[in-house]
């Protein structure tokens, strides 16, 4: 188990080989329990950083390869606040000084006349519960795979020759009620990375950024921001790189939104057999 923890730590720091990274990425999207294990590994890495147990090289990698998103930075701040709070309360307790502030704030939740230790225990229960809820929200909001593909989609895809190695899916906006708009594809035909070309309204400017959400059978499986629009002979389209293993059998819907326009701009449906 210790070897597995060390491997996940190296994965989060970005020092594994491409082959090892790909193997872990596939486990993240196919095994929900492993995703939880990876989230705990992120907590451990953040705590190691806060406690100063990372080596100088690991600390540099923490800044360069791990602390790369606003949500991870927010997670670092939250865990740091919790650790500082716990240290202060336990320090006061060891010194024989009742944590009066905690009793005043939370005494009503735990009854009257409780000893400081009991009150402090209740406070810590609340804090741990908050952290668990926050972690659950974080996992639903962003994953390592989404972070990786968000970066991949920032590259310039204007030259389609550079994307010829990917399986291409061309879609126009529609719904499942529009039988003509429901394209079907075979999972076995897909490549490790799939290029989606989503036709946009004619007045859509090129090089605009969009938010996309991929939904399978009513459940969101991938959310990517900063997806760009490009010129094509017929007008404008979004080009979106998606990990092939995410596209299992089922009915899919891709919704496209923009910070500049209210509501959903386009809905694209397809089926994987």
Per-residue pLDDT tens over the stretch 165-182: 899 999 988 754 554 557
Q: Would you place residue 233 in the very low, low, confident or very high pLDDT band (cuts 50, 70, 90)?
A: confident
Q: Is residue 233 part of a domain?
A: yes
Q: Reduce the DSSP state of residue 162 to 3 states and report it.
A: helix
Shared-domain flag, residues 59 and 122: no
Higher pLDDT, 242 or 174: 242
Residues 21 and 6: their CA atoms lie apart, in Å, by: 14
Q: pLDDT of 60-78, one tens digit each?
A: 999 888 888 777 887 888 7
Whether residues 74 and 135 fall in one domain: yes
pLDDT in tens, 15-57: 998 888 888 888 887 777 887 888 888 888 998 998 899 999 9
Q: What's the whole-number average pLDDT of the chain? A: 78
Q: pLDDT tens digits, residue range 122-172?
A: 555 555 555 555 444 444 455 677 777 888 888 899 998 888 889 999 998
Whether residue 148 lies inside any domain: the answer is no
Same domain, 170 and 191: yes
Are residues 159 and 220 located together in one domain of the fold? yes
Q: In sequence order, what DSSP letters do the residues of 111-125 get, joined into one string? A: -SS--HHHHHHHHHH
* 62 and 77 together in one domain: no
Q: What is the pLDDT of residue 1?
A: 44
Neighbours of 42 (CB within 10 A): 21
CA-based end-to-end distance of the chain: 37
CATH number at residue 236: 2.60.40
Q: Which of 87, 112, 141 is the last residue of a domain?
A: 141
Please say which residue of 121, 141, 161 terminates a domain: 141
Whether the CB-CB separation of 49 and 12 falls below 8 Å is answered with no
Whether 215 and 260 map to the same domain: the answer is yes
- My answer on whether 222 and 243 are in the same domain is yes
Q: Which residue has the higher pLDDT, 221 or 139?
A: 221
Residue 95 CA from chain centroid, whole number: 42
Name the residue with higher pLDDT: 270 or 113: 270
Tell me if 146 is assigned to some domain.
no
Instruction: Say whether both 116 and 207 belong to one domain.
Output: no
Residue 196 falls inside a structural domain? yes
For residue 113, name the pLDDT band (cuts at 50, 70, 90). very low
Within this chain, do residues 116 and 47 fall inside the same structural domain, yes or no?
no
What is the percent of the chain where pLDDT is above 90?
A: 23
Percent of the chain with pLDDT over 70: 74
Number of separate domains in the chain: 3
Q: What domain range is 76 assigned to?
A: 70-141
Whether 265 and 175 share a structural domain = yes
Q: Is residue 147 assigned to a domain?
A: no
Q: Which residue has the higher pLDDT, 181 or 205?
A: 205
Both 161 and 74 in a single domain?
A: no
What is the pLDDT at residue 183?
Answer: 87
Task: Report in angstroms the alpha-carbon separations of 265 from 102, 175, 201, 252, 255.
Answer: 49, 13, 9, 17, 8
Q: Which of 67, 89, 111 is the last residue of a domain?
A: 67
Higher pLDDT, 258 or 108: 258
Position 45 in a domain: yes
Mean per-residue pLDDT, 205-217: 90
Question: Residue 138's pLDDT is what?
Answer: 45
The closest alpha carbon to 250, from 184, 166, 192, 181, belongs to: 184
Structure tokens at 266: 């386009």
What is the reported pLDDT for 111? Answer: 46
* Residue 189, domain member (yes or no): yes
| 170 plus 263 within the same structural domain | yes
Tell me if 46 is assigned to some domain.
Answer: yes
Residue 20 tokens, joined: 């090892």
């Amino acid at each position: 188990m210790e070897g597995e923890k060390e491997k996940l730590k190296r994965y989060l720091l970005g020092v594994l080989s491409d082959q090892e990274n790909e193997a872990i990425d596939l486990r993240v999207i196919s095994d929900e329990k492993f995703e939880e294990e990876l989230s705990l590994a992120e907590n451990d890495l953040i705590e190691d950083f806060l406690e100063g147990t990372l080596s100088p090289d690991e600390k540099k990698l923490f800044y360069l390869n791990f602390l790369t998103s606003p949500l991870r930075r927010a997670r670092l701040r939250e865990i740091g606040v919790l650790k500082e709070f716990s240290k202060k309360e336990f320090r006061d307790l060891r010194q024989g000084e009742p944590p009066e502030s905690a009793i005043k704030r939370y005494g009503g939740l735990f009854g009257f006349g409780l000893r400081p230790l009991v009150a402090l225990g209740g406070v810590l229960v609340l804090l741990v519960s908050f952290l668990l809820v926050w972690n659950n929200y974080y996992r639903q909001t962003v994953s390592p795979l989404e972070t990786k593909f968000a970066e991949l989609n920032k590259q310039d895809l204007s030259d389609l020759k550079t994307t010829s190695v990917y399986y291409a899916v061309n879609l126009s906006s529609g719904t499942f009620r529009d039988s003509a708009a429901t394209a079907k594809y075979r999972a076995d035909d897909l490549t490790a990375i799939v290029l989606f070309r989503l036709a946009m309204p004619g007045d859509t400017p090129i090089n605009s950024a969009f938010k996309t959400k991929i939904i399978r059978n009513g459940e969101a499986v991938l959310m990517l921001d900063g997806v760009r629009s490009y010129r094509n002979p017929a007008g404008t389209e979004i080009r979106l790189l998606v990990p092939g293993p995410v596209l299992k059998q089922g009915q899919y819907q891709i919704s496209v939104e923009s910070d500049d326009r209210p509501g959903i701009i386009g809905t694209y449906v397809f089926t994987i057999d």
